[in-house]
Amino acid sequence: MDVAIVGIGIHPFGRTPARSGLQQGAYAARLALQDAGIEWRDIQFAFGGSASAGSADALVNELGLTGIPFINVANGCATGGSSLISAYNAIKSGEYDVGMVTGFDKHDRGAFNADPEELGIGQWYGEVGMMMTTQFFAMKIQKYMHDHAISHDTLAKVSEKAFINGSKNPNAWRTEPISVDEIINSTMVNDPLTKFMFCSPAEGGVALILCRADHAKRYTDTPVYLKGATMKSRRFGSFEVFSPSQALQQVDGPTVDASKAAFEMAGVGPKDMDVMQLQDTEVGAEIMHMSENGFCEDGEQEALIQQGATHIGGSMPVNTDGGCLANGEPIGASGLRQVYENVLQLRGQAGDHQVPHDPKLAYTHVYGAPGISAITILQR
Catalog residues that contact other proteins under the rule CB under 8 A.
110-111, 113, 115-116, 122-124, 126-132, 135, 138-140, 142-143, 146, 187-193, 236-237, 243-248
Q: How far is the CB of 90 from other proteins (least distance, A)?
A: 30
Contacts of residue 118, Cβ cutoff 8 Å, sequence gap at least 6: none
Nearer to other proteins, 183 or 262 (CB): 183
Q: How far is the CB of 141 from other proteins (least distance, A)?
A: 9
Contact 295, 273 (CB under 8 A): yes
Nearer to other proteins, 98 or 202 (CB): 202
Nearer to other proteins, 171 or 190 (CB): 190
Contact 274, 312 (CB under 8 A): no
Q: How far is the CB of 155 from other proteins (least distance, A)?
A: 13
Could you give the 3-state DSSP secondary structure of residue 254?
helix
**Beta-carbon count within 10 A of 96 CB:** 19
Nearer to other proteins, 140 or 365 (CB): 140
Contact 133, 241 (CB under 8 A): yes
**Beta-carbon count within 10 A of 170 CB:** 10
Nearer to other proteins, 146 or 271 (CB): 146
Nearer to other proteins, 13 or 242 (CB): 242
Contact 367, 243 (CB under 8 A): no
Contacts of residue 116, Cβ cutoff 8 Å, sequence gap at least 6: 122, 123, 125, 126, 131, 242
Q: How far is the CB of 142 from other proteins (least distance, A)?
A: 5
Strands 224-233 vs 275-278: parallel, antiparallel or unpaired: unpaired
Nearer to other proteins, 66 or 135 (CB): 135
Q: How far is the CB of 200 from other proteins (least distance, A)?
A: 14
Question: In this structure, what are the phi and psi dihedrals at residue 85, rounded to the nearest 5 degrees?
Answer: -65, -40
Q: How far is the CB of 228 from other proteins (least distance, A)?
A: 29
Question: In this structure, what are the phi and psi dihedrals at residue 42, rounded to the nearest 5 degrees?
Answer: -90, -5
The count of C-alpha atoms lying within 13 angstroms of the C-alpha of 169, restricted to the half-sphere facing its C-beta, is 36
Nearer to other proteins, 66 or 134 (CB): 134
Q: How far is the CB of 145 from other proteins (least distance, A)?
A: 9
Contact 362, 342 (CB under 8 A): yes
In angstroms, what CA-CA distances link 332 with 23, 24, 28, 72, 178?
A: 14, 12, 13, 10, 27
Q: How far is the CB of 122 from other proteins (least distance, A)?
A: 5
